[in-house]
Structure 1
Amino acid sequence: MPHLLIFARHPELGRVKTRLAADIGAEGALAVYQELLAHTRAVVAPLAVHKTVWLAEAPAAPLPAPEWPGYEPLLQPAGDLGQKMQTAFAHAFARQAGRVLIIGTDCPGLTTALLTEAFEALLTHDVVLGPAADGGYYLLGMRQLYPQLFQAKSWSTATVRAETLADIRRLQLRLHQLPELQDIDTGADLKAWQTSSGRTLVPGLRVV
């Protein structure tokens, strides 16, 4: 069965979207994050795949996390983002997953159709990448584990996508790219997305 991996945090004041909180305050950042979580769950819900949520830390309530009914809940291991993602992919492939996608919870433009396209692309491609406007990516998919994609990266910087694409070319992998979307990490990201989409995540929230 295909596996979908989601990296997420428990929605707790002061513990989520800290860069966004620096621009709009902790309460505003929490409200935005809760809307992003709800959006992510909604677009994932129709998919007939095994769903695993990898939480950055244990929620206040014992697992399973109440925000993720029907998901396999696991805690992210120690290490940088690359090490954590590699472990998550390895866990899925060790359970005989044929196609595996990983996403976060930062992308309000993500749709069920894009996720379906990504899974279908893995029938004929080795890797699927969903590029983010900040130079990273909002989705990565593979049919087998390629550890090189998680090594020697400057995580959370604008070079991650280019470094990953260079690895894909070096390994001569068949790549399918999805449309570029906007992740929401800062107040500028939120304003840019709202301007381009004509939508707002939290009605009444002021973004300077």
Structure 2
Amino acid sequence: MKKHLIIFTRYPEPGKTKSRLIPILGEKGAANLHRHMTEKTLITVRELQALDPLSIEVRFTGGNLDVMQNWLGSDLIYDAQCFGNLGDRMRNAFETAFHEENTHIIMVGTDCPFLTVDILVQGFKALETHAVVLGPAKDGGYYLIGLNHYIPELFQDIPWGTSKVFKTTIKCCQTLNLSVSELPLLSDIDRPEDLESMEFIALKEIENKRVDF
């Protein structure tokens, strides 16, 4: 078993990050929020790595290798996301990771600050007996997807950015007769209304911060 975890993120450049939150937080505040959540996600993943050996890959947009390494550290695997829609980019990342002989792969974004080590442990454990593991988000998407073999169909004809992503993915799994394990339902933070969530109270100070890059 060769475990691999992919973090999908972007360099937190003001004006190009968390655009839906810019009206509430401002360009620098939205970028700073994204920076904070990416760093929190990486901390969680590193905690898992300390318990259970796995490789960590950062798939990024914006910036370049140097700025990403200066930001998140030089001990990670880095690769720029390919061109195309979200599904194309996710499919490419999984295809490459399986080609490199990883056997159990989980991908997470950085919009879910409530992701825990326990949930990641559950995810990798589920891949021992299920083809697919999904972490559903309250907005109808998912914050985590894991596979134990390459399944490109899961990234085709999905209405990305809508409340139908999770349900459509589940239907695709059913059509392909794939076994699926579902993780706990969590909230993503990517819309103004998400900032009012009581679960988000621990991060509210981000709204008032403005960081220069």
Same fold (TM over 0.5): yes
Match of 2:71 in 1: 67
Q: What is the CA–CA distance in structure 1 between the aligned matches of 2:201 and 2:69, rounded to whole Å?
A: 29
Equivalent positions of 1:32-51 (< 5 A) are 32-46=33-47, 47=49, 48-51=53-56
Q: Give the deviation of 1:25 after TM superposition.
A: 1.5
Q: Residues 64-97 of structure 1, C-alpha deviation per residue, up to 9 Å, x if partnerless?
A: 5222222101000000000100000001000100
Q: CA deviation at 1:202?
A: 4.2
Moved over 6 A (4+): none
1:86 equivalent to 2:91? Answer yes
In the other structure, the counterpart of 1:158 is 163
Indicate the RMSD between aligned Cα atoms, in angstroms.
Answer: 1.6
Q: 2:211 matched to which residue of 1?
A: none
Q: Give the aligned residue type for 1:54.
A: R
Where in structure 1 are there 5+ consecutive unaligned residues?
none
Q: Name the residue aligned to 1:186.
A: 191
* Equivalent residue number for residue 134 of structure 1: 139
Q: Hey, what's the Cα distance between the residues in 1 that align with 2:131 and 2:109?
A: 21
Q: Is the 8 A contact 1:63 1:73 kept in 2?
A: no
Distance 1:4 1:35 in 2: 19
Greater helix percent: which structure? 2
Contact 1:89 1:100 in 2 (8 A): yes
Aligned-residue offset at 1:204: 6.7
Distance 1:116 1:167 in 2: 25
Q: Distance in 2 between matches of 1:156 and 1:37?
A: 19
* Deviation of 1:33 (Å): 1.2
SS of alignment partner, residue 70 of structure 2: coil
Mark the CA change 1:125 to 1:204 in structure 2 (over 3 Å): closer, same or farther. closer
**1:63 CA drift (Å):** 6.0
Alpha-carbon spacing, 1:22–1:126, altered in 2? closer, same or farther (3 Å): same
User: What residue is the counterpart of 2:180 in the other structure?
Assistant: 175
Residue 199 of structure 1, CA deviation: 2.8
Identity %: 35
Structure 2-normalised TM-score? 0.90
User: CA 1:109 to 1:129, structure 2 compared with 1: closer, same or farther past 3 Å?
Assistant: same
2:14 alignment partner in structure 1: 13
**Could you tell me which of 124, 128, 143 is aligned with 2:129?**
124
Which consecutive unaligned segments of at least 5 residues does structure 2 have? 209-213
- Higher mean C-alpha deviation, range 86-95 or range 11-20: 11-20
Paired with 2:202 and 2:90, the residues of 1 have a C-alpha distance of 30
Q: Tell me the amino acid that sits aligned with residue 41 of structure 1.
A: L
Give the total of aligned pairs: 202
Alignment partners' CA distance in 2, 1:204 and 1:99: 35
The aligned counterpart of 1:109 is 114
- How far off its partner does 1:24 sit? 2.4
CA drift of 1:30 comes to 1.8
Partner SS, residue 25 of structure 1? helix
